[in-house]
């Protein structure tokens, strides 16, 4: 890994690294906060997945997670949202496809499949690097995210309940198969067979039998994407009659921005700390 930056915060270290990813066939950048407790013993790992158009930097600069992460002794890892590099396929005029829009799936269709394998990167390659490089307790992992990253966190948790012990989301895309935000990307990355999409759709995964103990979802009622792209009530309906716990909190006047995320970040850090 190459160290791009290191800054002391709340007694811990906020760092940014780059490394060559074999899974994504490109150089990747990620941020990691190491709490002061890691000097003494391995600490739990909390993964944060960002949304469309974002990089590792959005939550690192605006998410306000370090104070509580330091208090509770959590390592927070913030990956990028897609592969990068000059050879990586892109859709320059479409923010919902290509760079910044990896959707945390492993693409199967050309030309995307060589590079867009974010699911394998998040669940395999990057955790191996984190385990090797930091004092991380990989038996205690949680995952959360925003928007597209909320979709990623929820689907990866549902598919890997033995790996993650906690999951939460800010304004997640809970049903990408029915969301214009995701349908185009899913068709390009995964093909036209919508039955394949169900493996990357939180509502469909629950309907098909996937289980996870409980979720925390925060959603702003003034979010301009609520009705068309996010639709958290669909997940609320999907978990009815299951043993999946859901805390869905709808907030007046809050939108889709990091003003919303930073307001409720403390609640999410505490949620994960209690379970990790």
Q: Could you report the per-residue pLDDT of 51-70, keeping only the tens digit for each? A: 999 999 999 999 999 999 99
Number of domains forming the structure of the chain: 1
Largest CA distance in the chain: 51
Residue 243 has pLDDT above 90, yes or no: yes
Closest-CA residue to 161 (of 128, 206, 191): 206
Question: What is the structure's pLDDT at 37?
Answer: 98
Question: Quick one: what percent of the chain has pLDDT higher than 70?
Answer: 100
Tokens 């469309």 -> residue: 52
Query: What Rg value do the Cα atoms of the chain yield, rounded?
Result: 17
181 has a pLDDT exceeding 90: no
Catalytic positions: 147, 223, 256
The CATH number of the domain where 7 resides is what?
3.40.50.1820
CA atoms within 13 A on the CB side of 215: 35
Domain that holds residue 38: 2-274
Q: Rounded mean pLDDT of 98-108?
A: 97
> Quick check: pTM over 0.95?
yes
Q: What is the pLDDT of residue 85?
A: 87
CB atoms within 10 A of CB 192: 10
Q: Tens digit of pLDDT for each residue in 259-275? A: 999 999 999 999 999 99
| Residue 92, pLDDT score | 87
Contacting residues for 61 by C-beta, under 8 A, at least 6 apart: none
Query: pLDDT digit string (tens) for 120-144?
Result: 999 999 999 999 999 999 999 999 9
> Contact 88/110 with Cβ under 8 angstroms?
no
**HEC profile for 205-254?**
HHHCCCCCCEEEEEEECCCCCHHHHHCHHHHHHHCCCCCCEEEEEEECCC
User: Residue 197, Cα to own-chain centre: how many angstroms?
Assistant: 18
């Amino acid at each position: 890994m190459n160290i791009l930056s290191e800054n002391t915060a709340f007694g811990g270290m906020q760092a940014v690294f780059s490394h060559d990813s074999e899974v994504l066939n490109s150089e990747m950048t990620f941020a990691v906060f190491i709490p002061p407790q890691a000097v003494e013993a391995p600490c739990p790992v909390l993964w944060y997945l960002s949304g469309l158009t974002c990089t590792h930097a959005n939550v690192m600069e605006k998410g306000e997670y370090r104070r509580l992460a330091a208090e509770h002794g959590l390592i927070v890892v913030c990956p990028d949202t897609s592969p990068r590099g000059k050879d990586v396929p892109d859709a320059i005029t479409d923010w919902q496809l290509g760079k910044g829009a990896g959707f945390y799936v492993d693409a199967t269709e050309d030309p995307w499949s060589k590079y867009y394998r974010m699911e394998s990167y998040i669940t395999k390659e990057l955790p191996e690097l984190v385990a090797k490089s930091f004092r991380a307790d990989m038996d205690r992992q949680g995952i959360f995210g925003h928007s597209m990253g909320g979709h990623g966190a929820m689907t990866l948790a549902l598919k890997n309940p033995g790996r993650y012990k906690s999951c939460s989301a800010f304004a997640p895309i809970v049903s990408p198969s029915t969301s214009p935000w995701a349908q185009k990307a899913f068709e390009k990355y995964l093909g036209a067979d919508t039955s394949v999409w169900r493996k990357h759709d939180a509502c469909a995964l629950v309907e098909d039998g996937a289980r996870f103990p409980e979720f925390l979802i925060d959603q702003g009622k003034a979010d301009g994407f609520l009705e068309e792209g996010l639709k958290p009530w669909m997940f609320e309906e999907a978990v009815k009659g299951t043993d999946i716990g859901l805390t869905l909190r709808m907030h007046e006047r809050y939108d889709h921005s990091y003003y919303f995320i930073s307001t409720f970040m403390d609640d999410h850090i505490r949620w994960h700390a209690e379970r990790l």
